[in-house]
């Protein structure tokens, strides 16, 4: 670290004296271009369902999601991430609806890219919204999640999404080797422009509860957990190994999930690899801030913006956040 003049020759408060100076020397800043907006998609028309554990978040059918996409474009949000809420009757042990070319996600992708070609669309590659057991993979006879067999169907899911026209596929399953398999399959089909944002360091976190309520997988999962494939919250060296493997296998971008409780991991990943690095401010983080603000314990807009700036300071190039539209409006104000 470089040496600085001692007090009184050095007075750090001089650079905090007024707003123009603070703006001039600010090291990190948040813009609308840093935001990815996760949304929950329902089948049908005219359907709107509030997510009780995520104040202000709704599950929307595609016709009601289109105006949300229009708002993203108007406010300069570059990417919208789709998370489907699947009819329970379509959920199976093997999650085969995940690669149905006429399923909810491919249909939505085609419509959104037709209506808003300049808006980036990202899709989740994982089986948990589609399986009757709520796990991200296929099970053996003991209930253990199979790796290689799961990767085979994840490839089919990713290809279905890419062929529908999605810009970014985002494998969130944490199976070993799935990035390489998906990249090879995309290249083999000539889908060379489809980007992969890998959920490279996804932890077996307790902060995902409201999301599982939103997509309807909580009841299917029951008392089971995902600790045999998602990462142990006590590990950070392991995160670097996971990221290194995904980069070597062809990931264009990597992600750390959850966000604020794992900012140290974001910083380590960015410092080590210098690749596009993202973080997911997950449902539990969002719900906590919303609940505290609703109770008058925190200033909503202030903590929203401060929390998002923290991701940038930690080294994230962008953030998936349910605050995206609210933050974009604040940034545009």
Asked if 290 is an active-site residue, the reply is no
Alpha helices in the chain (DSSP H): 19-25, 62-75, 104-115, 148-164, 178-188, 209-215, 218-221, 237-249, 263-273, 283-294, 300-314, 324-332
Choose the catalytic residue: 91, 202, 226, 312.
202
Three-state DSSP at 46 gives: coil
Asked if 223 is an active-site residue, the reply is no
CA–CA gap between residue 297 and residue 285 (Å, rounded): 15
* Contacts for 26 with CB less than 8 Å, ≥ 6 apart: none
The first and second tokens of residue 330, run together, are 């604040």
Give the angle subtended at the CA of 66 by the CAs of 254 and 284, to the nearest 5°: 45
Q: Which residues pair with 134 in a beta bridge?
A: none
- Evaluate whether 246 touches 179 at the Cβ level (below 8 Å): yes
Distance of CA 142 to the CA centre of its chain: 31
Choose the catalytic residue: 91, 226, 257, 290.
257
CA–CA gap between residue 172 and residue 230 (Å, rounded): 9
The residue among 330, 317, 175 whose CA lies nearest residue 252 is 317
Specify the DSSP element, H or E, that contains 122: strand 120-125
The residue among 331, 257, 295, 299 whose CA lies nearest residue 55 is 295
CA–CA gap between residue 116 and residue 47 (Å, rounded): 21
Q: Which residue numbers are catalytic?
A: 202, 257
């Amino acid at each position: 670290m470089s040496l600085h003049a001692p007090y009184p020759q050095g007075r750090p408060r001089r650079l905090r004296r007024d707003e123009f100076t603070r703006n001039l020397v600010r090291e990190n800043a948040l813009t609308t271009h840093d935001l990815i907006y996760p949304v929950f998609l329902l089948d049908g028309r005219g359907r709107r369902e509030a997510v009780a554990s995520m104040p202000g978040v709704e599950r929307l059918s595609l016709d009601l999601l289109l105006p949300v996409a229009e708002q993203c474009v108007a406010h300069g949000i570059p990417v919208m991430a789709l998370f489907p809420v699947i009819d329970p009757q379509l959920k199976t042990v093997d999650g085969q609806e995940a690669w149905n070319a006429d399923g909810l996600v491919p249909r939505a992708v085609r419509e959104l890219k037709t209506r808003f070609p300049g808006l980036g669309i990202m899709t989740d590659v994982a089986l948990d919204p589609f399986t009757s057991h709520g796990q991200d993979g296929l099970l053996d006879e003991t209930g253990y999640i199979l790796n290689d067999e799961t990767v085979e169907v994840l490839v089919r899911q990713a290809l279905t999404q890419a062929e529908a026209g999605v810009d970014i596929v985002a494998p969130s399953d944490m199976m070993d080797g799935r990035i390489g398999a998906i990249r090879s399959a995309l290249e083999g089909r000539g889908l060379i422009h489809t980007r992969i944002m890998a959920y490279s360091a996804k932890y077996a976190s307790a902060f995902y509860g409201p999301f599982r309520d939103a997509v309807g997988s909580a009841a299917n999962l029951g008392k089971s957990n995902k600790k045999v494939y998602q990462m142990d919250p006590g590990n950070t060296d392991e995160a670097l190994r996971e990221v290194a493997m995904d980069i070597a296998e062809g990931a264009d971008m990597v992600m750390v999930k959850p966000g604020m409780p794992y900012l140290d991991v974001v910083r380590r990943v960015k410092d080590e690899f210098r690749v596009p690095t993202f973080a997911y401010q997950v449902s539990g983080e969002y719900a906590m801030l919303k609940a505290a603000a609703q109770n008058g314990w925190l200033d909503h807009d202030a903590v929203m913006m401060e929390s998002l700036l923290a991701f940038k300071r930690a080294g994230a190039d962008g953030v998936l956040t349910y605050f995206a539209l609210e933050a974009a409006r604040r940034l545009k104000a």
